[in-house]
Structures are given as C-alpha cells and as structure tokens.
Amino acid sequence: MEPSLRYLLPRAILTIVLLTILIAGCSNNGPTNGGFSVNPNSPLDWTHTIGPMLNAYCSACHSGPAPQSGFNATSYNSVISHVTANGNRVVLPGDPGASELLSRVKGQGFPRMPPGGNIGSDNIQAIEDWISNGAPENLSSGN
C-alpha cells in the first residue's frame, strides 16, 4: 500500500464510522426517544397504560419542580385537574374533544406535543379511548 494511503485510509474509515454513529444518534434524538407501545393485554387506565405512556413521552419537560407551563404529566391527579393556559382541561373525563391532551398529541389547534415529535396513532387512539371511558385511574382489582 502506498504510504499516503496507509495514512489516509484508517482515518477515512474512522471518519465514516463516526459520522454513521452521529447520524444514527441524531435521527433517534427527538423527544419521542424511548417510546411506548400500548399493550392490548394491559388495562386501559392511568396506572398500566396512560401513565407509563406520558412518562415516556412527556416527563422530560413536564415533571419536577419547574415543569413546562406548570403542567406535571407524571401524576394522575395533576393530569386530571390541570387547566391549561388556553383555559382547557388537559383531561375532561368522558369528553376527548374537550381534552387538550388529545388535541396536543394530535397537533390540532395547539402546538403538537411532544414538540417536533409524534407519539403515533396507536397511542393517540388509546388516549382517546381512555378519556371516552371516563379516564379511569386503575381498573385492576389488585394494585
């Protein structure tokens, strides 16, 4: 191998490897990172489905001592009782159309949540069904 090639080739390969890692990292880097898939065998309630879902997609910004817009997405009571800056309930049990949670994840009327992301149609459908069913906290008789 020519001396200059022996010098350049490993560097070229290293550059390609590093770029590949960087690009893969970036495309994965949105707020939807982590993700959540509805388990059809789990009860459609806060404890088993909606809580873990919002934890995966929302808690990065909506938890802790200073959540975005004062909205804490990590507890049932705060999600059920929160009134948004637009004067809407985040969740109005039984009325998905009046629940800003649904319009936010659909990106209808308000900036989509998570910003720049999309939780996917199965998760959106689960939120809609959960609210239609009265937004129960825990349907299982056990815990």
Element (DSSP H or E) covering residue 42:
none
Find out whether 80 and 91 touch, Cβ atoms under 8 Å.
yes
CB nearer to ligand HEC: pick between 25 and 111: 111
Segment interacting with ligand HEC, rule: CB under 6 A, options 18-26, 37-45, 68-76, 128-136: 68-76
3-state secondary structure of 114: coil
At residue 89, what are phi and psi to the nearest 5 degrees?
-70, 140
Q: Among residue numbers 100 through 139, which ones bind ligand HEC (CB under 6 A)? A: 100-101, 104-105, 111, 113-115, 119
Report yes or no: 96 and 128 within 8 Å, Cβ to Cβ.
yes
Distance CA 25, CA 48 (A): 30
DSSP state of 68: G
Distance, CA of 73 to CA of 137 (rounded, Å): 14
The only residue of 57, 63, 126, 131 in contact with ligand HEC, by rule CB under 6 A: 57
Smallest separation, CB 133 to ligand HEC (Å): 18
Residues within window 12-51 making contact with ligand HEC, judged by CB under 6 A: 31
Query: Per rule CB under 6 A, is residue 60 in the interface with ligand HEC?
Result: yes
**Binding footprint of ligand HEC on the chain (CB under 6 A):** 31, 54, 57-58, 60-62, 68-71, 73, 84-85, 90, 100-101, 104-105, 111, 113-115, 119
